[in-house]
Structure 1
Amino acid sequence: MSQQTLPISRILQGKNPREYFDPDEMAELEEGIRVFGVIEPIIVRPIPNTDQFEIIAGERRWRAAKNVFGDQYAMPVVIKDVNDASAEAMAVIENYHRAAMSVAEEARAAQRQLLRHRGDKQETAATMGWSPDVLERRLALLACTPAVLKALTCRQILIGHAELLAGIPPDKQDTVLAGIITHKVPVAALKAQLGQYARRLADAVFDTAQCVGCPYNSARQAGLFNESLGEGYCQHPAHFDELMMKEVETRAQALRDEYPVIRIVKPSDGFTPLAVTADGELGVGAEQYGACKGCQSFGCAVSAMPGSYGRVTPSLCFDAACNSQKVAQWRKARRAAQEVLVVAGQGGGPKAKAAFSGAASSSAGPGQTKRQRSSKPSNQTPQRVIDHRIAQWRKWTAHALMTQPERNRRVLIALARSGRTGDVRVPEFAQAAQKIAGSWVVEDMELASCLRHADAIDIGLLDKLVLAVTAAAAFGVDTRDLELLLNYLEVDEARYFQWDKTFLELFTMSELESLAEEVGLKKAMGADFKAARSGKKPDFVAALLQVPGFAYRGTVPAVMRYPRQAVPAVEAEEGGSEDGVDPRVADGADDLRTPSDTEAALAV
Structure 2
Amino acid sequence: METPATPTLPINRIVQGKNPREYFDPVEMADLEAGLRAAGRVVQPILVRPIPGSDLYEIVAGERRWRAAKNVFGNDYGMPVVIEALNDEEAEAIAVIENHHRAPMSHAEEAQAAKRQLLRHKGDKEEAAASLGWKPELLERRLALLSCTPAVLAALTRRQIQLGHAELLAGIPPDKQSSVLTGVLAHKVPVGVLKEQLGRFARQLAAAIFDTAQCSACPHNSARQAGLFDESLGEGYCQHPTHFDELTLQAVVAKAHGLRDQYPLVQIVKLSDGSAYLPIAAEGELGVGAAQYAACQGCASFGCAVSALPGSYGDVTLSQCFDAACNTQKVAAWRKAQRENEPPLPPKTAKTLAKRDQPDVTVARPSNQTPQRVKDFRVTEWRKWAAKELMAKPERNRRVMIALARCGHAGDVRSIEFGAAAKRIAGPCVLERLDFAVALPEADAIDAQHLEQLMLAVTASAAFGVGLRDLEALLNYLEVDEGRHFKWSTEFLELFTMSELESLSEEIGLKAKMGAAFKLARAKKKGDFIKSLLAVPAFVYEGTVPVVMQYPRRTVSAASIGLTGDELPVAPVETAEEEALAA
Q: TM-score band (shorter)? A: 0.5 to 0.7
SS of residue in 1 equivalent to 2:233: coil
Query: Which of these residues, 278, 281, 288, is aligned with residue 274 of structure 1?
Result: 278
CA distance in 1 between partners of 2:194 and 2:341 (Å) = 59
> In structure 1, what is the Cα distance between the partners aligned to 2:338 and 2:555?
35
**Per the alignment, do residues 474 and 340 of structure 1 end up closer, same or farther by CA in structure 2, a change over 3 Å counting?**
farther
Alignment match, 2:296 = 292
Which of the numbers 250, 255, 260 marks the counterpart of 2:259?
255
Cα drift, residue 229 of structure 1 = 2.7
Instruction: Give CA deviations for 1:390-439 in whole Å, capped at 9, x if unaligned.
Output: 11001100100101111112212222222221111111111111110103
Q: 1:436·1:461 contact (CA, 8 Å) conserved in 2?
A: yes
Pairing 1:380–2:384 present: no
- Assess, with a 3 A threshold, how the Cα gap between structure 1 residues 260 and 219 changes in structure 2: closer, same or farther: same
In structure 2, what residue type is equivalent to 1:335? R
Per the alignment, residue 399 of structure 1 pairs with 388
**What is the alpha-carbon distance in structure 2 between the residues aligned to residue 352 and residue 221 of structure 1?**
68
Q: Using a 3 Å threshold, how does the CA distance of structure 1 residues 273 and 540 change in structure 2: closer, same or farther?
A: same
Whole-Å Cα distance in 2 between the matches of residues 467 and 232 of structure 1? Answer: 75
Return the offset for 1:274. 0.9
What residue in structure 2 maps to residue 486 of structure 1? Answer: 475
Aligned-partner residue type, residue 382 of structure 1: P
Identity rate of aligned residues, in percent?
61
Asked whether the 8 Å contact 2:276–2:324 carries over to 1, the reply is: no
Q: 2:247 maps to what in 1?
A: 243
Residue correspondence of structure 1 range 49-198 to structure 2 within 5 A:
194-197=197-200, 198=202
> Which of residues 318, 328, 348 in structure 1 aligns to 2:332?
328
Amino acid at match of 1:281: E
Aligned residue for 2:306, secondary structure, equals: strand
Question: In 2, Cα distance between the equivalents of 1:262 and 1:505?
Answer: 17
Give the greater-gyration-radius structure (CA).
2
Which of 488, 500, 524 matches 1:499?
A: 488
User: Any conservation in 2 of the 1:407–1:570 contact (CA below 8 Å)?
Assistant: no
**Local SS of the residue matching 2:304:** strand
**Residue pair 2:255, 2:314 contacting (<8 A) in 1 also:** yes
Cα deviation 1:218-256 (Å, max 9, x = unaligned): 222222233333322222222221221111111111111
Q: Distance in 2 between matches of 1:192 and 1:412?
A: 82
Structure 2 counterpart of 1:265, from 265, 269, 285: 269
Q: Deviations over 1:278-307 (max 9, x none)?
A: 111011111111111111111111111111
**Alignment partner for residue 427 of structure 1, among 400, 416, 424?**
416
The residue that corresponds to 2:134 in the other structure is none
1:442-591 to 2 correspondences below 5 Å: 443-568=432-557
Q: CA deviation at 1:350?
A: 12
C-alpha contact (below 8 Å) 2:280/2:320 kept by paired residues: yes
The answer for the alignment partner of 2:13 in structure 1 is none
1-structure distance, mates of 2:464, 2:437:
26
Aligned-partner Cα distance in 1 for 2:221–2:297: 44
Sort the Cα spacing of 1:488 and 1:191 in 2 relative to 1 into closer, same or farther, 3 A: farther
C-alpha separation between the residues in 2 aligned to 1:520 and 1:237? 52
Partner of 2:427: 438
Which TM-score applies when normalising by structure 2? 0.59
Whole-angstrom CA distance in 1 between matches of 2:271 and 2:437: 68
- Separation in 1, partners of 2:203, 2:369: 42
Partner letter of residue 551 of structure 2?
Answer: Y
What whole-Å deviation, never above 9, does each CA across 1:562-587 have from its counterpart, x for those lacking one?
0110121799xxxxxxxxxxxxxxxx
Taking a change above 3 Å as real, the CA distance of residues 190 and 567 of structure 1, as seen in their structure-2 partners, is farther
Aligned to 2:4: none
1:418 aligns with 2:407: yes
* Distance (Å, rounded) in 1 between the aligned partners of 2:518 and 2:474: 38
Equivalent residue in structure 1 for 2:306, among 302, 311, 317: 302
Cα RMSD after superposing both structures: 2.7
Is 1:226 paired with 2:226? no
Contact (CA 8 Å) 1:427, 1:442: kept in 2 or not?
A: no
Deviations 1:63-101 (A, max 9, x none): xxxxxxxxxxxxxxxxxxxxxxxxxxxxxxxxxxxxxxx
Deviation, 1:550, is 0.8
- The amino acid of 1:289's aligned partner reads Y
Q: Which amino acid aligns with 2:556?
A: V
**C-alpha contact (below 8 Å) 1:304/1:310 kept by paired residues:** yes
* Cα separation, 2, equivalents of 1:290 and 1:407: 40
Is the partner of 2:320 in helix, strand or coil?
strand
Q: Is the 8 A contact 1:258 1:508 kept in 2?
A: yes
Question: Relative to structure 1, is the Cα distance of residues 219 and 211 closer, same or farther in structure 2, using a 3 angstrom cutoff?
Answer: same
| 1:177-233 per-position Cα deviation (integer Å, ceiling 9, x unaligned) | xxxxxxxxxxxx999954442211111111122222323222222222333333222
1:442 CA drift (Å): 5.0
Q: Which amino acid aligns with 2:230?
A: N
Q: CA deviation at 1:447?
A: 2.4
| Gap change, CA 1:463 and 1:203, over 3 Å in 2 | same
SS at match of 2:279: coil
- 1:243 is matched by which residue type in structure 2? L
Give the superposition deviation at 1:335.
0.9
User: Partner of 1:499: helix, strand, or coil?
Assistant: coil
> Does the Cα contact within 8 Å between 2:431 and 2:443 map onto a contact in 1?
no
Structure 1 463/272 Cα, relative in aligned 2: closer, same or farther at 3 Å?
closer
State which of 211, 219, 234 in structure 2 corresponds to 1:215: 219
Question: 1:340: Cα distance to partner?
Answer: 7.0
Q: Distance in 2 between matches of 1:400 and 1:454?
A: 25
1:408 aligns with 2:397: yes
Residue 263 to residue 557, structure 1, CA distance change in 2 (3 Å): same
Q: Which structure would you say has the larger RCO, counting Cα contacts within 8 Å and 6 or more residues apart?
A: 1
Residues 22-53 of structure 1: per-residue CA shift (max 9 Å, x gap): xxxxxxxxxxxxxxxxxxxxxxxxxxxxxxxx
CA distance in 1, matches of 2:431, 2:273: 54
AA at the equivalent of 1:449: V
Partners of 1:442 and 1:231 lie apart in 2 by 78
Greater Cα shift, 515-524 or 454-463:
454-463
Local SS of the residue matching 1:324:
helix
2:312 is paired with a residue whose SS is: coil
Helix, strand or coil at the partner of 2:537: coil
Mapped to 1, the partners of 2:532 and 2:456 lie a distance apart of 41
* Contact 2:306-2:317 within 8 A present in 1 as well: yes
Aligned residues: 366
Distance in 1, Cα, partners of 2:425 & 2:381: 22
Q: Is the 8 A contact 1:501 1:541 kept in 2?
A: yes
TM-score relative to the length of structure 1? 0.57
Amino acid of the structure 2 residue aligned with 1:245: L
